[in-house]
A and B are shown apart, each in its own frame.
Chain A
Amino acid sequence: DSGVTQTPKHLITATGQRVTLRCSPRSGDLSVYWYQQSLDQGLQFLIHYYNGEERAKGNILERFSAQQFPDLHSELNLSSLELGDSALYFCASSVGQAPNTEAFFGQGTRLTVV
């Protein structure tokens, strides 16, 4: 158990809908990273939050947004969903944002858009 909790584990929704994925980092970790894993693109970095502030963006679509709350949990909001958004979404947490800190991954949320 990595100590990172993601909910829900599975989500099935229709095209055009909006969903929210939730991530609770390990106790004491200030950084939360969101990643998407799809069959065609593999694992890709979406966005990074540190202590409530956005720190970096990767290949995140404009239809997607995220935030980190004062209790450090984070939410990834996906809107106007398309079939191609079906993927595994992981969050990872680390103590800081320096490069040499180990990242701990959650079990992922499997999103299926039908």
Chain B
Amino acid sequence: KNEVEQSPQNLTAQEGEFITINCSYSVGISALHWLQQHPGGGIVSLFMLSSGKKKHGRLIATINIQEKHSSLHITASHPRDSAVYICAVNSGGGADGLTFGKGTHLIIQP
């Protein structure tokens, strides 16, 4: 069983819809990251969370440490939001790299 589980694996929505992507993890963590990967392959860091909630533009990320769960929300979705969204955690000390979920492939149709 993967330490980081994301749902859904695939999501297709219409432009303007509110999008939620979920991430559950089974280990203790020091931080959780949301990443975005476009078809060209490059990875962009969206958020790093250790508690609470963060907002950047139309993106909102929340984390519940007790429930080992995080959500990424996109408000007023747009076709340019189409990408793979990846949840990743720091589960060890600072020396260890990230442990990744398998990603959510999001398509926003105009």
Contact = CB atoms under 8 A, between A and B. Distances in A.
A33 to B, nearest CB: 5
A45 B41 contact: no
A102 B99 CA distance: 14
B97 A45 contact: yes
B97 A2 contact: no
Contacts of A51: none
A101 B88 CA distance: 13
Interface in A63-105: 88, 90, 92, 96-105
Interface residues of B, number: 26
Interface of B: 30-31, 33, 35, 40-45, 48, 50, 86, 88, 90, 92-100, 102-103
A88 B41 contact: yes
- Classify the interface of chain A: helix, strand, loop or mixed: strand
Given A45-B96, A48-B95, A100 B44 contact: no
A110 B41 contact: yes
15 contacts: A2-B44, A2-B45, A43-B86, A45-B96, A45-B98, A48-B95, A55-B95, A56-B97, A88-B41, A99-B31, A100-B48, A100-B90, A101-B48, A102-B45, A108-B42
Interface of A: 2, 33, 35, 42-48, 50, 55-56, 58, 88, 90, 92, 96-108, 110
A44 B100 contact: yes
Nearest to B102: A42
B100 A108 contact: no
B63 to A, nearest CB: 13
Given A98-B94, A103-B33, A43 B100 contact: yes
A66 B41 CA distance: 22
A46 B33 CA distance: 18
Given A43-B98, A96-B94, 17 more contacts: A35-B98, A47-B97, A48-B96, A48-B97, A50-B95, A99-B30, A99-B31, A101-B48, A101-B94, A102-B45, A103-B45, A104-B45, A105-B45, A106-B42, A107-B42, A108-B41, A108-B43
